[in-house]
Structure 1
Amino acid sequence: MTDKVILEMNIEEQKAQELERIVKQTAKELQLSLKQIRTTVELLDEGNTIPFIARYRKEMTGELDENQLRSIEERVTYLRNLEERKREVIRIIDEQGKLTEELKSSIEKAVKLQEVEDLYRPYRQKRKTRASVAKEKGLEPLAIWIMEQPKQGDLKQEASKYVDAEKGVESPEDAIAGAMDILAENMADDAAIRSWVRRYTMDHAMLTSEAKDADQESVYENYYNYRELAKKMPPHRILAINRGERENVLKVSLEVAADPIHNFMARQIVKGTSIVRDVLTAVIEDAYKRLIAPSIEREIRAELTEKGENQAISIFSGNLRSLLLQPPVKGRCVLGVDPAYRTGCKLAVVDDTGKLLEVAVTYPTPPNNKRKEAAEKFHELITKYGIQLIVIGNGTASRETEQFVAEVIGEMDGVELAYLIVNEAGASVYSASKLAQEEFPDLDVAERSAVSIARRVQDPLAELVKIEPKAIGVGQYQHDVSQKHLDESLKAVVESAVNHVGVDVNTASPSLLSYVAGINATLAKNIVKYRDSNGKFNNRKELQNVPRLGAKTYEQCIGFMRITEGDNPLDRTPIHPESYPVVDRLFKELAIGMDKLGTQELSDLLGQQHVGELAEALEVGVPTLRDILESLQRPGRDPREELPLPIFRTDVLKIEDLLPGMELQGTVRNVIDFGAFVDIGIKSDGLVHISQLSEGYVKHPMDVVSVGDNVTVWVLNVDLKKGRVGLTMRKPKDQQ
């Protein structure tokens, strides 16, 4: 056996050991079985997507859901990077000739990158420091002598041996000072000391903030003289203080008692009485104040920021998913209105399939106030196209436009007509995009925005995927977080939502198709190009003819593609083609034909089956059969249709109309750490504080409400001056 073969075998063995360590660590952290982690890692390494694994490989993973799979992927990636960093650190220290078995073992056992970096710190190449200068002056032996803590002798006399004017050591005091600098850096680089100090600081430090100018008015006035235990700070407060500091309004620091830290360090370093005890005490204080404390403060502030960012991204992701999965308002011709003052309200009429029929502009709002002409145009369009719903964007001039639309509806006797205000966040981003220019080359930016506003009610998912996810404002502090992490998380949310619903391959836009599992932007365009050239797809198999759509991609994406009126009725269900033989065996077992698909007869028959026994007879896993039966009972079902439609309005409510105790119906627009904002039909959304969401204890608002929920609220208080309304979801006692 050659040396090369042996080396390759050793590398493979090392990789296998690393993977086993990673699997065990991930299983321990996520409290899942070793088999679940191992199988998931294998599936991911084979190029399978998370939506595909979650939906079609349930038997293999023990029915792990998408969130669990993403947690595994995230943690395994981190631990693989950690293993790579460990190898690099061990190599560098070994090349320096300083690697011991004990140090190597400590590095290999580390489960956090911070632990590895602490262990590597003493061996890292440093820029010029006071300690490195002292070493250049030849003072390291004196530092070693001091650390030996002699009980007899004279420090000054020992230090005088190192006086050397040519090296810049003018006196014994200079030599002692240099040796102390070396010792201070050694103590600051000690992994055990840093770990303890970091943990102690996190447990006991107070985060304080004060105003740089106490007379300056700002939104940060709550933090002008603020103190809170750092580890107890809620995420949104961390990010608010960070922003105040970044905008140069606040001065922020960590405060922690130094004495307990000095005492701990002394217990590790000082051994009984010696002639250098006072010197070591001074070194300990200097090492902590000058080197350890500033570094640990940066690390803890970064850790707190990461905690705040992770929560903000989690909130945004949850809200975005709820928004994307809002039920489509089908079967209605819609008039979209992009309100404005000076430039007028842009109108776009779209039919029940989202096709643009007409655009127009009217000027019912100040400064033009051409209400009569605007009303005539609205009446004309409503009558001409049989419009049933007017959708108004919630931007500038939206409430004046709402007032006008309510009056128009009041004038239209005998017409079934209502209006709805939608969050127009991102509409302007979409309308100025290259995609919008390709879709509507003849429209101006505002007209495209009106089309987007209309369509996002008809099919929120199909329209909102055209917009960069972070431009859809349903988060908190989204501009203060790692944009790379935010983009990755939001892309995963959109991908999850799209694959949950499925896409009609014959009508889907490239934007929508690009989020299907396994499909990228290029492939999405290829699918649409093929469809435009060859006509609609008649069956799923035809997708294999699309250029660059290979076997692996087909396997990943095809279960999420729907063909509603194709050759095979199963192509409109979420059943994967790999399971079509199972369906054939099922229909034979039940002695029923495929022509019964979608009938109540089949649905009733399937509902009577014992899944376990049937799975055994069909030689298929129970989770897969359960999904197949559900898909056959409701073929072509859109999971969003089970959710309540948004609240349609016909008249305007003003803040002046509100009284404490008044009962209202509203729609949740945004959920944040401290509550939920609810659209009750007035200019500004009302706030339901977390304490008012339920009679019982609420850990987080997302446990109670989601974006898009229709809720019953009661007015708690009204601040006319600030235009704020406090709401409660707890029914007042006098109404119970």
Structure 2
Amino acid sequence: MDILKKLAEEFKLNAWQVENTVKLIDEGNTIPFISRYRKEATGELNDEILRDLNERLSYLRNMEERKADVKRIIEEQGKLTPELAEAIDKAEKLTEIEDLYRPYRPKRKTRATIAKAKGLEPLSVLIYSQMLSDEELEKRAEDFVSEENEVLSIEDALNGAMDIIAEQISDNAEHRKKIRDITFQTGVITSKATDPEAETVYEMYYDFSEGVSKIAPHRVLAMDRGEKEKVLNVSIIPDTEKIINYLKRKELDGGEHKYFDAAVDDSYKRLIAPSIEREIRNELTENAQEQAIKIFKTNLHNLLMQPLIKDKVVIGLDPGYRTGCKVGVVDGTGKVLDTGVIYITHSEAQKKSAAEFIKNLIKKHDVDLISIGNGTASKETEIFTAELLKTIPGTKVKYLITNEAGASVYSASKLATEEFPDFDVTQRSAISIARRIQDPLAELV
């Protein structure tokens, strides 16, 4: 594979852009460095394209290394044919390479390897040939009954031979690729509750199903978490009839062959289906995680890059019920001017006292904005603030709701203690809520 050419085609770039970028990566330059200081070499490629190109480059190189390893291992076994080598070279995914390698991979102890050790491989060849009737196979199976080999009956001999056939069918790369496609296109991913009576955050997934090809990434991650926490049982249900018909169409000669037919069914249900389900589940999870990171990146970018509100005196309100609403006032540079605690959800007397306290702060510090955290009791605090501002004639003060994520964690951190040694954790969170509308990037970072 010409990796540089493939990258140019996939990313719709000029050959020189890809060549220069790969050279810079191979020289040990980081993506941020290349994006900022080597624009002329890459043709102004942004950091997102560079990052995706680097990931794809790594994948393709790993794939080429794996191809070489697989061909070497098979060649050492003396089983590498020109056709197999060509199929490996043409593989475009790691899963395709592993499918081709599967028949030659050193196997752990399986039912098929045990059957082979008992000398049942010749019988499996007879069944696979589909040349004999069921009665003739049963008669020939008598020759393989042996106490020494622990084959105690005709049934034992036939079952062992079918185990060998099942593994052979399972190792067929063409079958696995087709079945993977059918499972992805027709499969339904389902989740069931381990305890339907339990109250958890996963209740919407207690009896849930959706097409594998259509399921949203966030649902995949939610089901993965529920399964990890042993709240859900998750599985993929494909169109089994379609898959079995495909295998029989490919493997059976059209006649009635009870034992071979049973081996095909066993191959799919015992060996192929669980393996394909694991592969698809892993692929869904990887794609969902990648999508989640992209969404997080976009949201974080939008949050951090909000326009600055310069030179405004801000009151920060960190809402709460039992512990009250924490108050922090900062000047246009973020310097703390005042702090306090008010109670707006208790008695009317306390609510009235809280209103007077905020009015005095507005007048004392010539406040421009009030920033209200969006956590517990935020709605009550918003209503209180709106009603309060109506009682101040001609006031210029406005309020807004601020995402308070991380404020409580920050307030109890070593950094906050060093920055505000004279304030307790509740006051620090209110200060942070005020500052984060002035300069989100500076405060949140």
TM-score by length of 1: 0.55
Task: Look up the match of 1:265.
Answer: 247
8 Å Cα contact 2:182-2:239 kept in structure 1:
no
Q: Which amino acid aligns with 1:333?
A: V
The aligned counterpart of 2:66 is 85
Q: Which residue of 2 aligns with 1:233?
A: 215
Contact 1:342 1:368 in 2 (8 A): no
Matches within 5 A, 1:284-683: 284-366=264-346, 370-465=350-445
Conserved 8 A contact 1:24-1:34:
yes
Partners of 1:377 and 1:360 in 2: how far apart? 9
Amino acid at match of 1:379: K
Q: What is the Cα deviation at residue 60 of structure 1?
A: 2.2
CA deviations on 1:290-328 (whole Å, 9 max, x unpaired) are 211222223223333444433333323222211111111
CA contact (8 A) 1:341 1:367 kept: no
Quote the Cα distance in structure 2 between the aligned partners of 1:104 and 1:297: 28
2:35 equivalent in structure 1: 54
Residues 225-262 of structure 1: per-residue CA shift (max 9 Å, x gap): 66544313343444455566666666554333334323
Equivalence map 1:245-264=2 (5 Å) = 252-264=234-246
Q: Which residue, 158, 177, 187 being the options, matches 2:159? A: 177
The CA deviation string for residues 375-422 of structure 1, in whole angstroms up to 9 with x for no partner, is 343233323322211111111122222233234333434542121110
CA deviation map 1:680-709 (0-9, x unaligned)? xxxxxxxxxxxxxxxxxxxxxxxxxxxxxx
Q: Does 1:64 align with 2:45?
A: yes
Contact in 1 for aligned 2:317/2:433 (Cα 8 Å): yes
Tell me, in whole angstroms, the C-alpha distance in 1 between the residues paired with 2:442 and 2:4. Answer: 38
Asked whether 1:139 is paired with 2:120, we answer yes
Cα displacement (A) at 1:44: 2.5
- Whether the aligned pair in 2 keeps the contact of 1:342 and 1:367 (CA below 8 Å) is no
State how far apart, in whole Å, the 2-side matches of 1:264 and 1:391 are: 64
Q: Is residue 149 of structure 2 the alignment partner of residue 167 of structure 1?
A: yes
- Mapped partners of 1:42, 1:408: distance in 2: 63
| Structure 1 contact 341–365 (Cα < 8 Å) conserved | yes
Aligned-residue offset at 1:351: 1.7
Say yes or no: does 1:193 pair with 2:175. Answer: yes
The equivalences for 1:75-114 within 5 A come to 75-114=56-95
Query: Any idea what SS the aligned residue of 2:320 has?
Result: coil
Q: Distance in 1 between matches of 2:17 and 2:349?
A: 65
State the 1:29 CA deviation: 2.4
1:532-587 Cα shifts (integer Å, max 9, x gaps):
xxxxxxxxxxxxxxxxxxxxxxxxxxxxxxxxxxxxxxxxxxxxxxxxxxxxxxxx
Distance in 2, Cα, partners of 1:437 & 1:123: 62
Among 125, 132, 136, the residue aligned to 1:154:
136
> In terms of mean alpha carbon deviation, does 392-401 or 100-109 score higher?
100-109
> TM-score, normalization: structure 2?
0.87
Counterpart code for 2:158: I
> 1:210: Cα distance to partner?
5.8
| 1:195 positional shift | 0.5
Pair 1:111–1:432, CA change in 2 (3 A): farther
Letter matched to residue 456 of structure 1: R
CA displacement at 1:169 relative to structure 2: 0.6
Matches of 2:105 and 2:429, distance apart in 1: 55
Question: For residues 392 and 278 of structure 2, what CA distance do their matches in structure 1 show?
Answer: 64
Give distance in 2, aligned partners of 1:428 and 1:46: 43
- Is the 1:202–1:231 Cα contact (8 Å) retained in structure 2? yes
In 2, Cα distance between equivalents of 1:397 and 1:359: 19
Which digits, 9 at most, give the CA deviation of each residue in 1:5-35, with x for residues without a partner?
xxxxxxxxxxxxxxx7322232232232332
Opposite residue 109 of structure 1, the aligned amino acid is K
**Using the alignment, how far apart are the partners of 2:340 and 2:72 within structure 1?**
69
Distance in 1, Cα, partners of 2:237 & 2:195: 21
Could you tell me whether the CA contact under 8 Å between 1:363 and 1:369 is conserved in 2?
no
Structure 2 equivalent of residue 503 of structure 1: none
Shift of 1:86: 3.2
How far does residue 190 in structure 1 lie from its aligned partner after superposition? Answer: 1.2
Q: Which is helix-richer, 1 or 2?
A: 2
Q: Does 1:40 find its partner at 2:21?
A: yes
Q: Structure 1 residue 72: deviation in Å?
A: 0.6
Rounded to whole Å, the distance in 2 between the matches of 1:122 and 1:299 is: 18
Amino acid at match of 1:190: N
How big is each residue's C-alpha offset from its partner over 1:622-648, in whole Å with a ceiling of 9 and x where there is no partner?
xxxxxxxxxxxxxxxxxxxxxxxxxxx
Matched AA of 1:30: F
Unaligned ranges ≥5, structure 1: 1-19, 466-736
Aligned runs of 1:697-712 on 2, under 5 Å? none
Distance 1:141 1:359 in 2: 87
Are residues 368 and 168 of structure 1, via their aligned partners in 2, closer, same or farther at CA, if it must alter by over 3 Å? farther
The one-letter code matched in structure 1 to 2:181 is R
Q: Which amino acid aligns with 1:380?
A: N
Q: Is the 8 A contact 2:202 2:226 kept in 1?
A: yes
